[in-house]
Amino acid sequence: MEKIPILRMGRFLLVTIQVDMHDQLALQLQEDLTERIVAQRARGVLMDISSLEVVDSFIGRMISNIAAMARVLDAETVVVGMQPAVAITLVELGLSLDGVRTSLNVERGMALLNERLREEEQSAELQHDQLTRGPG
């Protein structure tokens, strides 16, 4: 069966969509990604859609769903590389991709994920210090 490959990069997962997906393939990706997030304790998903020439309401909903599911599983999703013509069309279609973080390219998307992870670790350390030091 045909599948969209999911690559692992450290604590993140990288998905590059390079084919015009039919609906079942999009649903399969949604399922595969959530499974991989849990199995590999991934903290972020980078979805590269620079090869996608069309994002209709179905694909748009899949992208929103993936971001929402990932969030519930404590992973951040960043969508990168949306083509300008696709962005223009999406807005006119009425799709706003609420709750989905976007970035211009893979490099900046990766920086965004790393930054978020660092911030979280720092605040976790701070909390830990306060706890071990006690009230006085």
Partner 1 sequence: MPVVHRIVLPVRSQEDIVRVRGAARENSVAQGFSLVDQTKLVTAASELARNTLDYGGGGEVEITRLDEPPRRGVRLIFSDKGPGIADIEQALRDGFTSGGGLGLGLGGARRLSNEFAIDSKPGQGTRVTIARWR
Residues 41-70 that bind partner 1 (CB under 8 A): 53-58, 60-61
Binding of partner 1 by 93 (CB under 8 A): yes
Give the nearer residue to partner 1 in terms of CB position, either 7 or 88: 88
Question: By CB under 8 A, which span of 37-45, 71-79, 91-99, 116-124 interacts with partner 1?
Answer: 91-99
Contact between 110 and 38 under an 8 Å Cβ cutoff? The reply is: no
Give the nearer residue to partner 1 in terms of CB position, either 21 or 78: 21
The letter for the amino acid at 43 is R
Return d(Cα 84, Cα 51) in angstroms, integer: 12
Contact between 83 and 104 under an 8 Å Cβ cutoff? The reply is: no
